[in-house]
Amino acid sequence: MKLQQLRYIVEVANNALNVSLTAEKLYTSQPGISKQIKQLEDELGVQIFLRSGKHLSGITTIGEIIIEKSREILNKTQDIKMIVQEFTKPNLGVLALSTTHTQARYALPEAIQTFVQDYPNISLKMEQADSTQCLINLKNRVSDFAITTDLSNLTDDMIALPCYHWNQSIIVPKQHPISGRALISIDELANYPLISYDLSKEGADIRQIFLKNGKTPNIVFNTADADLIKTYVRLGTGVGIIAKMAINVQNDIDLAVLNAGHIFPYSTTYIVFLRSLYLRNYMYDFIKKFSPHLDKSIIHKSLACENNQQVLAMYNGVKLMIK
């Protein structure tokens, strides 16, 4: 049994059983991967993958267990490398992030700017994805941190630290009938065509909030891109519902911004990582740059909790920053 063989079966599983794509990502050949997988199966005396002709069609029950254990082993070997680097090359390394559009566009730039200035020899890798893919990247060790609002796919091997709250705002052209209103009710809002985030992918599920109030929203355009929401609001397509942090006072001077905190509850952004991740000093520093209340001592206390319910309970009563 070789680490290379374990890496192959894990990566094949990560890439939806597509051996050619796995070979491309690992800079090797498809026949070479297939040969190594078959040799591992012969050595173990079990079938890890189901086959349909020459193609992999599924994973066996025992194969699921073997792949999960292989993933743990590979993670540990990666951690050993990181521990050695921390002692031998403390200023070299990689920081890999997966995050949603709103966080990447409006929340992260300042922290990223100061981080790259302070750590010029740390290689930064970022991927924009939806919340589900962010956590998948985390599980597969494609990313060190996921920065997201939706924790519906959080698993027990992950830890989520709350960073800050953020509110929604309503935006319309300044000539719109509601532009001068201090407050607007959800009943009134339901009368207008709406342009919003892609349902629950960026914070509160806007559609569900309307339905709970006995209203059916007329959502004419869903997008994860706040700038697109602004564009179509300017075109008169509808009333926009947008993260307050996405409003730029200088660039959006032509838009009227109405408070929506009385209609939509605030959302919370979290930084999520695997409990098994060996946190290097520059990783602690990045977390603190992004969310100043999350210093090393707080992170250690969070890691000592048995589950995420206990972690979140630590923050009951703590006033997080609101963006």
Whether the per-residue pLDDT at 175 is higher than 60: the answer is yes
CA–CA gap between residue 51 and residue 305 (Å, rounded): 42
How far apart are alpha carbons 280 and 293 in whole angstroms? 18
> Are the C-beta atoms of residues 271 and 147 closer than 8 Å to each other?
yes
Residue 114 has pLDDT above 70, yes or no: yes
Tokens of residue 323, six digits? 């963006």
Residue 153 has pLDDT above 50, yes or no: yes
Give me the helices (H) in 89-184, please.
101-102, 109-118, 131-139
The answer to whether residue 279 scores a pLDDT higher than 80 is: yes
121, two tokens: 């020899």
> Would you state the pLDDT for residue 266?
85
274 in helix, strand or coil?
strand
With 0-12 / 13-18 / 19 or more C-beta atoms within 10 angstroms meaning exposed / middle / buried, residue 27 is: exposed
Q: How confident is the model over 148-158, as a mean pLDDT?
A: 89
**3-state SS assignment for residue 151:** coil
Q: Is 185 buried (19+), middle (13-18) or exposed (0-12) by CB count in 10 A?
A: exposed
Collapsed DSSP state (helix, strand, coil) of residue 152: coil
Q: How confident is the model at residue 102 (pLDDT cuts 50, 70, 90)?
A: confident
Q: Is the pLDDT of residue 75 over 90?
A: no
Tally the C-alpha atoms within 13 A of residue 306's C-alpha that lie toward its C-beta.
0
Q: Which residues contact 249 (CB under 8 A, 6 or more apart)?
A: none
Alpha carbons 276 and 288: distance in angstroms, whole number: 20
CB 202 within 8 A of CB 99: no
Segment 269-291 mean pLDDT: 94
Per-residue pLDDT, 288: 96
Task: Return the percent helix, strand and coil in the chain, to nearest 5.
Answer: 45, 20, 35
Predicted local distance difference test score (pLDDT) of residue 198: 62
124-138 average pLDDT score: 92
End-to-end CA distance of the chain: 51
The average pLDDT across 257-271 equals 91
pLDDT digits (tens, 9 = 90+) for 183-232: 899 999 999 999 987 654 444 578 888 888 899 889 999 888 889 999 99
Domains and CATH numbers, the chain: 3-75 (1.10.10.10), 89-162+268-322 (3.40.190.10), 168-259 (3.40.190.10)
pLDDT attached to residue 203: 46
Cα separation, 121 vs 140, in Å, equals 25
Segment 291-320 mean pLDDT = 86
